[in-house]
Chain A
C-alpha cells in the first residue's frame, strides 16, 4: 500500500517541520477559494465586489476557526500547544509555591542521590577494566584464601594454558628517598606480566620488561603520575632519575598514567620490578597473582587448569607444605578487589532506589490532592470546550515539568553527593575517579521522566475514565472525597510504608552490628598508647647484628623518656593489622590428619615489654627471657618458645593448661617443636569482629627491620611523641619516624568502614521514615478536610471526640499496618544480602526487626494522631453551615 502508516507518520513530521509553509499554503488556498466564491456571487447575483466578498466570508464561516480545525486535522497542533502547556504548567506551579518547592526538593534529593550512586556504581562495580581478569588464590576451605608463593607463581607461569598473561605483585611499605629526608611510601613490586595482564601502558618511558626481573639486572622502577609530579616536577623529567628504596638505588624507567592509582586494587606510589629469588621451600606466600583469560578460556576451565598445576607441584614441595587440600583457585578480579564493599555498594544503590521510589510516591500523592482539589477548574475547562486529550496533556506536562525541575536540582545535588561519597564513603578502588558524566545525566533524566509519568498517572487516568463535569455542580468536596481517589492515596501510603521498612531494617541491622563491634574489647585500653611504625633502611641494616644493635639501643632510651611508662616492640598492630605475621602450626600431641589443612593463627613477634605497654596481663607461665629462641632451627640446642593468648589456649587445650605443650611452628615436622611457656590476655589482630587467637614469638632473636614501637604514656600520646622521636633520632637520625599515631586512632580507623556505611544508610532510612510520615499525615489531613461536614454531622448527632479521633487514626493505622506487613516480608527476603556485612548478628535478628517496626508504627501513629486531633476539634455547627 503506498499510503501506509509510515507515509502518514512521515507526512505528520513533514507537517511539523514545514508548519509555517503549510499555514502559508493554506492561506493561499483559502484566498483562492474566497476569490472564486466572491467572483461567482458577483457574476450570478450581480453583487458589488465588496458585498460579494462579505457574503463569501460569511458562507465560509470564520477563517480563523477553520484554520484551527485544519491544523488539528493536520496533527501539528500539539507542537504549538506544547509551548502553551509549558507556560501554563509553569504558571500553575508558581501559583502554589509550597507544593512546587517541596515536590521539586523531594524529587531533587531522590534523583540526586540516585545519580551520585549511579556514577559510583558505574565507575567501581561496572569498571570494564576488570573484564576477563582473574586473581589466583591458595584456597583450602570456602573461607580460607591466601596469597601465592614464588613456587606457585613460577609453576603457573610455566604450566598454565588459560591465560594470555600472568603477573605477580608484592606490596610493602618501604623507606624511600629522592635526595632529601627519607620517607615511607607504599610500594607495589610487579613482574612484567602484571601490567601486560592489566593492559596498562606507561604514559612516559617504558614498562617493566622480563629482563628487569633478573636478580643480576640493574634495579628499575615505574612510578605513579602524582609521585612523579610531586618529586620531579613533571613526568618526563622523572625518567632516568634515581630513587633510593630501602637503601638501594633504583632507576625510574617509566611513569604510569594519571588515572592509575592502584593496580588490581592495591594502592602504591612506586612500582619497582619484582625480582623473585629461587625458592627453597613452598612458602613464604605473599604474592598477588593475576591472569588475563584467553578468549576461549572460562573461569571454570582456568579452575581445572590451576587445580592440575596444584596437584603436579604438591609432591615436589611436600616437605615444607603438607596441606594437600589447598588448591590454586581463580576468582574474578572484580570480586577479589571489591569484596565486601562491592556488595555493600549494591545494597547501597538498592537503598537509594527505595528512597527515590518513596519520594515519587510522596510527590504523587501530593499531586493527587492538588489535582482533585482542582476538580472545579478542570470541570470548567471541560465545559468551556477543552478536549479530554488537551487536559491530559496539560496535567502530564505539569508533572513532567515538576520532575524535570527535580532532575535539574538532582544533578546539582548529585555532584555534591558524589563528592561526599568519595570523601566520607568507604575506600573503594577508583571511587575517587567517579564523575557525574553524560550517562549519569541521562540516567537522571530517565528517572525524572519516570517520576513525571508516575506522578501524573492517576490524575490522567481519572480523567480518561471519569467525567469531571460533576465537579462544577457539586464542588470540591465530592471530587476530593471520592472513593477511588481515596483508595489510590491509601495505596501510595501503603507503598511508602512498605518501602521504608526494609530500609529501616538495613539501617537498624547495621547500627546494631556496629554497636556490637564497638563494644568488643580489643584487649587493651588504647587511650594512653602511642604507636610508631619503624622500618630500618635495608641499606645499613642488612645484618641481624646491626638491626639488633639499633633496637637494643633504642628501646631502653625510649623507656627513659619522661612520661613513658613502658615501651615494647611488636610486628603486628592491633586490632586489624596482622602485618606479615600469620602462621600455621600443628600440635605435637594431636596432629591433623595428613593431607588436610593445619590451623592458623595470628603470630606476632614481640618483646616482653609489648604486653606491659599494651596493659595485657600475663595469666599463666612466664613471658620471654633473654635466652629464648624463636626459630625451630634443629641445630639450636635451646627449644623455641611461644606465649599464647587465652582464647588460643582454650581452643586447643580446653581441658588443662596449655603451658608446657608443644607444637610444630609452620607445620615443619622436621624442626624442633616449639614449647608454650605462657598465656596472656586476648588481643584482637583480625579486626574487632575477628578471632582473638594469637601466638607470640620472641622478637629478640632474628630481629626484624620492620617493627612497631608501642609506648604506654602516663598522660597522653601527643605529649610524649616529640620526646620519643628525639630519643630515637639520637640513635640514628636517618631512620624515618613519620608513621606515628595514637592507638585510639588505629582502633577508630578499624571501624571506620562499618561506621561510614551505617551513617550513610541511617541517613537514607531517616529520610524514608520522614517521607512516609509526611505521606500519612498529608493523606489524613486531606481526608479530614474533605470529610469536614460529615464529621460535623456525626458530632452533632452525638459522636464524642475520642470516637472521631479513633475513626481517623484507625483508618491511617490500618494502612500503616498493611504497609508494615508487606515491608516486613520484603525486609526478610532482602536483608539476607547483608549477612556477611553484619558482626555477631543474624540478618533477620528479631529484636532489630521488631524495633524498627515499632519505630515505623510509632511515627505512623503520630502522623495519624495529629490530623485526627484536628478532626476532633471541628465545630459541628460551623462545619455544617459552611457547605
Chain B
C-alpha cells in the first residue's frame, strides 16, 4: 500500500499555516517541512500549494517578501500575519472537533 496520503480537502490551508507558525519559509521549504513533519506521509500536490499560498495571502493570513535563501538564491518567503495566527487557532480547533467526530463514528461498533 502506498504510504503517502492525499491531503483532505480543506486541510492544506491549516497545514501551511502550521508550518509557517515556526517561522518564514519559501514555497519549497513549506512543502519539504510538511513532508518532514508528517514523516513523509503527507505529500502536497505542488499544483495546489502555490494557489493556496496566493489565496492565503489574498485573505491576509500570510504575507510574502522576496529574500535570499541560505545558499544565496532569490526566493519568495512567506510568513504568518497576526490575523493568520488567529485563523490558525480557529481552524485548528475546528479540525480537532472534526477529527474527533470522525474517529468517534469510526470507533462505534
Contact = CB atoms under 8 A, between A and B. Distances in A.
Among B58, B66, B69, max chain A CB count under 10 A is at B58
Given A32-B73, A33-B28, A70-B54, A65 B47 contact: yes
Interface string A61-72: 110011001101
Contact of B46 (A25, A35, A40, A66): A66
A312 B32 CA distance: 101
B60 interface: yes
Contact of B74 (A1, A32, A72): A32
Interface in B18-74: 26-28, 31-32, 45-48, 50-51, 54-55, 58-60, 66, 69, 73-74
A52 to B, nearest CB: 14
A59 B69 CA distance: 22
B47 A62 contact: yes
A87 interface: no
B83 interface: yes
Contacts of A59: 46
Contact of B50 (A36, A40, A70): A70
A2 B83 contact: yes
A748 interface: no
B35 to A, nearest CB: 10
A66 B55 CA distance: 14
B75 A32 contact: yes
Contacts, number: 70
Question: Counting chain B CB atoms within 10 Å of each CB, which of A3, A62, A66 scores highest?
Answer: A3
Contacts of A37: 28
Contacts of A69: 47-48, 51
Contacts of B26: 29, 32-33
B85 interface: no
B51 A72 contact: yes
B58 A8 contact: yes
Contacts of A30: 50
Nearest to A30: B50
Interface string A41-75: 00000000000000000011110011001101111
Contacts of B76: 25, 28-29, 32
A11 interface: yes
A313 B47 CA distance: 94
A2 B81 contact: yes
Consensus secondary structure, chain B interface:
helix
A7 interface: yes
Given A32-B26, A73-B58, A74-B54, A1 B83 contact: yes
Given A29-B27, A60-B47, A73-B58, A40 B32 contact: yes
A238 B24 CA distance: 85
Interface in A68-86: 69-70, 72-75
Given A3-B60, A66-B46, A36 B28 contact: yes
Contacts of B82: 2
Contacts of B59: 3, 8
Given A2-B60, A8-B58, A61 B46 contact: yes
B29 to A, nearest CB: 8
Interface of chain A: mostly helix, strand, loop or mixed: helix
A387 to B, nearest CB: 15
Contacts of B83: 1-3
Nearest to B45: A61
Contacts of A73: 51, 54-55, 58
Contacts of B47: 60-62, 65-66, 69
Contacts of A35: 73
A416 B31 CA distance: 67
A714 B59 CA distance: 96
A47 to B, nearest CB: 17
A66 B50 contact: yes
Interface string A1-13: 1110001100100
Contacts of A36: 28, 32
A1 B60 contact: yes
A534 to B, nearest CB: 87
Contacts of B55: 73
A882 to B, nearest CB: 47
A405 to B, nearest CB: 37
A765 to B, nearest CB: 56
A873 to B, nearest CB: 58
A547 to B, nearest CB: 94
B74 A7 contact: no
Given A3-B60, A72-B51, A33 B46 contact: yes
A59 B82 CA distance: 32
A69 B31 CA distance: 18
B50 to A, nearest CB: 5
Nearest to B82: A2
Contacts of A65: 47
A11 B60 CA distance: 11
A60 B46 contact: yes
A599 to B, nearest CB: 84
Which of A7, A32, A37, A61 neighbours the largest number of chain B CB atoms within 10 Å of its CB?
Answer: A32
A70 B54 CA distance: 7
A81 B63 CA distance: 28
A538 B62 CA distance: 95
Contacts of A29: 26-27, 50, 75-76
Contacts of B28: 32-33, 36-37
A712 to B, nearest CB: 92
Contact of A28 (B31, B32, B74): B74
A442 B66 CA distance: 45
A60 B44 CA distance: 9
A65 B76 CA distance: 21
Contacts of A33: 26-28, 31, 46
Interface in A336-363: none
B51 to A, nearest CB: 4
Contacts of B81: 2-3
Nearest to A75: B58
Nearest to A1: B83
Interface in B56-106: 58-60, 66, 69, 73-76, 81-83
Contacts of B66: 25
A607 B49 CA distance: 106
A194 to B, nearest CB: 67
Nearest to A7: B60
B37 to A, nearest CB: 16
Given A37-B28, A60-B46, A70 B51 contact: yes
Contacts of A7: 60
B103 to A, nearest CB: 31
B100 to A, nearest CB: 31
Contacts of A40: 32
Given A33-B46, A62-B47, 8 more contacts: A29-B26, A29-B76, A33-B28, A65-B47, A66-B47, A73-B54, A73-B55, A75-B58
6 contacts: A2-B81, A25-B66, A32-B69, A32-B76, A33-B26, A61-B47
Across the A-B interface, the 6 shortest Cβ-Cβ residue pairs: A3-B60, A60-B46, A36-B28, A73-B51, A66-B47, A61-B47
